[in-house]
Structure formats: structure tokens, C-alpha cells
Amino acid sequence: MAYNTDNIFAKILRGEAPAFKVYEDDYSLAFMDVMPQVEGHTLVIPKDPTENLHDADPIILGHTMATVQRVSAAVKQAFDSPGIMIAQLNGVPAGQTVFHLHFHILPRADGLDIGMHARNMADFAVLETHAQRVREALA
């Protein structure tokens, strides 16, 4: 399958769709998931047009994983979370719904239920507040 330049993450990278950004460098972008499974659900994407893990340039993937590591530590701190779950889905059978490589960062705690993936849109004011908490933890 050829990379679809009209996917929502490609549009975010081009500035054609809004995002609640928390971190950006030359290789990657991190922002709040607009359909979070838990509070603090954050996404990290490479800026490279890559559909899935298997198509990723190893150099860009390495830089992207460094961002995942840095941002996940900030999410953990910002949401006072004892654990962090990192998820990455490849292909429809795995649950991938946006065909641009991305990593989910989800704060986890005992007794904290995870909502269904890509179901309900969050309040944008809440997402901005959550993004600010992560940005402050990164500072």
C-alpha cells in the first residue's frame, strides 16, 4: 500500500489540521490523542511519511524512539502515573486506524480502565490543559 498523504497525521505535520502539541524536533512530533483511551494519552509520530514500523527508516525510527522515551517520562510525571504503556499498531488486523507510523503513550495505574481505541472525541479545552502539563514536565 502506498503512503496516503491525506491521512490526519500528514495533515497535522503540514499544519492543515490542529494538534495539541507537546514536543517537536527535526524528526518527530508529539501531541495529545484527540480520542484518548485514558487521560494523558499522547502520540508520537515521525515526520517522515512512513505507514508502519516495517517501512520506517532506521535512523528516523531511532530519533523517534528517543522522543517516545523522553515524552513518556514527561507524561508519567505530568499525570503522576506509576506506569506507562507504549503501544504501536501495524495494519488493520492489529487495530491501526491511521496509516502513519505512530506510538501511543498511555499513563497506567492499578484500577485505571482503558477506554476503546479511537471512539470518543475529547473536550479540546481539556486536551490543551493536558498538553500544558506534559510541556511543563518536559521543561
- Give catalytic residues, as residue numbers: 102
- What are the distances in angstroms from CA 108 to CA 15, 51, 80? 31, 27, 10
For residues 91 and 108, what is the distance between their CA atoms, to the nearest angstrom?
Answer: 25
CA geometry: angle at 109 spanning 24 and 87, to 5°?
Answer: 45
- Provide Rg for the chain, Cα atoms: 14
User: C-alpha 50: how far from its chain's center?
Assistant: 15
